[in-house]
Structures are given as C-alpha cells and as structure tokens.
Structure 1
Amino acid sequence: MPDQIAFQNKNEILNNILYLLDQNGLQQKDLADYLGVSRTVITQWKKHQTDTYLKYIDKIAEFLDVSKNDLLNPDISILDESVLTPEEISLIKYYRSLDIPELKKVAMQTMSFLATVKKISN
C-alpha cells in the first residue's frame, strides 16, 4: 500500500468511491464484480468494518475512470459539473495530477497573480 494512502483520511477516500459510483449510475455490485470480490465486502467497506478497499485503489480508479489522485484527494464531490465549468474541472484535475511540489507552488503563484490582475482590472 503506498505511503501516501496511510496519511489520507480513509473515510474521505471511501466517500469519494461511493460518490463516484453514484455519479456514474453504477451499483456496488458492478464494482464488486469488477474487483472480483463479493458484494458483502463492499457492504463491509460502507459500514467501516474493513478498509481493504485501500489495496484496490488502482483498480477502483480504473473502474471509475478517474486518477488514483482523484480518489485520494479529499472531497472529490467538488468536481461536480453542476457547480464547476468543464474548464475549472480540467484545471483542478491537472493541479491534482502534479506530483512535484515545486510545480504546485508555481501553479498557486500563477493563480494568485491572476487574482491580483482581476482585482486591478475591476
């Protein structure tokens, strides 16, 4: 299990999985079948009886057609298209995919600069 998972809030990861299942109109049975586990296992995850879903993160991300980083990030529901434009969603996904801290820092500095320009132009 990757080290970064150990530092994540397991409830948030599980919430992301359940949220994405719902958003994609998928059933827990579909995920269970894809992973080769019983539906009981998925029910145990929901009841917080086990966190074995962590060892399936890569396969779950593949099944849900999202990056592993999306599953590991808190509250993926902010990517809800009813709230954000496709461009905003694309930017968030791109930012989350950046693995190098320096790149994230540059992205944040750019965003801060753009916010300043917007204030000045208003």
Structure 2
Amino acid sequence: MPRMQADEILRRQLSVFVEQHGGAAQAADALQLSRIFVWRFLKTGKAIPRNVTKLKHALEGVAGSQTAGSTVETAGKREKKQVDQFRFSRSDVAKMRLMLHYLIAALDAYEAGDTDVAGRPGRAGSPY
C-alpha cells in the first residue's frame, strides 16, 4: 500500500469539532462516520483518499457554510446557555436530597430484610 500523507489542517478542524461535541464518539455520531475512523484520524491525521473526502464533506455538511474551525467562537456561547438551563433552586435541591435520603433508607432496610420498600415487614430469605 502507498504511504498516506498526514493532513494536519483537516486533523485540526476535526479536533476542534470533537472538542465542541464533547468527545470523538459524539463527533462521529454527528458526522455520521465511524467512531474508530474519527479516533484514528485524530491520532494520526492519515486516511485513504476516499475517507479523507468523506470527512471533508461531513465537516462541511454539518458546519453549513462555515468551516468547523470558524465555529469555535460560538461554541462557548452555546455551552454557557446549556449550563444555565440545569440550575436548581435551593428548595428543589432540598426536596431531592430528602427524597434520596428516604430512598437510601428504604434500600438499606430492604437489604437488611427488616421491611420491604413500602415499609411492610419483609419476608425472610426472599429475594423479593
């Protein structure tokens, strides 16, 4: 087989795309490419010409009129919006903490065989 030349520009574009999507697996899914191919190309920057063409078309298709390298500026803005959506109020955190406390207590009691999850006396030796 002929030796393949590394394409550092395409490798950098893919690297930026992977960073934006949180990992090679997520980027591969977004590009509709093999996860192994994406991981190997990130590592070596080399692929057969047919696969390099597929990767270029996938990056262009996902980015629309922009290249993957030019979307880096907007990635930070999108990430900040996503973080803000998952904030909980203090009362919500207190309710979740109380619910989890009761859940753990019920599981501990169930494992000990004292009671079932509903608080009724458990059956000795029964896995249910």
Bin the TM-score by the shorter chain.
0.3 to 0.5
What TM-score do the two structures reach when normalised by structure 2? 0.37
TM-score scaled to structure 1, two decimals?
A: 0.39
Which of the two has greater helix per residue?
A: 1
Give 1 or 2 for the bigger CA radius of gyration. Answer: 2
